[in-house]
Amino acid sequence: MLLRHIHLREAARADDEARKPATHAIRRALVRCGIGAAVLAVLYLLIHFLIPYMPDLREWVKSLGFWGPLVYCIIFIVLTAVFFPESVIAIAAGTLFGFWMGIVWVVVAGTIGATLIFLVGRTVFYRPVRRRLEQHPKLMAFDKAAGKEGFKLMLLLRLCPLNYSLLCYVLSVSSAKFRPYVLACIGMFPGNISTVYFGFTARHVTEVAGGASTDWVKEVSIYVGLGFAILASAVVARIAMRSVKKMQDEPAESTQTVPQS
């Protein structure tokens, strides 16, 4: 009876272990659906509340002439320094400046903002944060990876859907070097394309609603372009996240393997 009870318990445990991957996959799918729904809700709120005011704001920016893009860059840098969502400001660039110039000014402002955050974090927060990092081995492992892998790791992190401001501050107190950090800012480009394109599409929608002339070819190309931009940035982000996870797993595997004599 005792052996039978042990076997039944082991079988039940094995069955639970077999069900865990499926349960984890379902939970992960639900989390992704929740995140997607939240993103769509935020975008709807942006269109519903902010976009109607964009024509007046565009006219004001246009009246500034040369100073318009400069004012936008300053606003971008100041707001992202206090953790305002970078994507919202990038969407605004698409509505204010159009697609191509919107990308230009977002890239310029994003690179300058990331550089300033790095310099402030490295000079002001470095010592107190480093003392706290040393108490957490996992965070220190990331710190070593940032110093060892350098440009490759930071580029992948920029491609991931991570908070712009938080990533800048975290890297500023890590072992990351300044030059690779700045060069890795090109990893923001795919995400910037999708967010700026969304703002450009929203601008087009408001112009059509206001009576601007259009044709079906232009309509189809704009919406297909938006879908492609979002899909491409999502695929790039997924590949980058897998690569970062692989880089995290490799040090753990190397520490477990014992060299043979």
- Half-sphere exposure of 185 toward its Cβ, with a 13 Å CA cutoff? 22
Mean pLDDT (whole number) for 163-192:
89
Percent of the chain with pLDDT over 70: 60
Give me the chain's average pLDDT, please. 75
Least confident of 22-26, 115-119, 133-137: 22-26
d(CA 194, CA 228): 9
d(CA 195, CA 51): 14
d(CA 139, CA 28): 24
Q: Among residues 26, 40, 116, 119, which one has the least CA distance to residue 78?
A: 116
Q: Contact, 203 vs 95, CB < 8 A?
A: yes
Q: What is the pLDDT of residues 121-164, one digit of tens each?
A: 888 888 877 777 666 666 666 666 666 667 888 888 888 888 89
pTM of the full structure:
0.72
Separation of CA 48 from chain center? 24
d(CA 140, CA 158): 20
Q: What is the pLDDT of residues 83-110, one digit of tens each?
A: 888 888 898 898 889 889 999 999 999 9
Q: What is the pLDDT of residues 197-237, one digit of tens each?
A: 888 887 777 766 666 666 666 666 766 777 777 777 777 77
Least confident of 19-33, 123-137, 160-174: 19-33
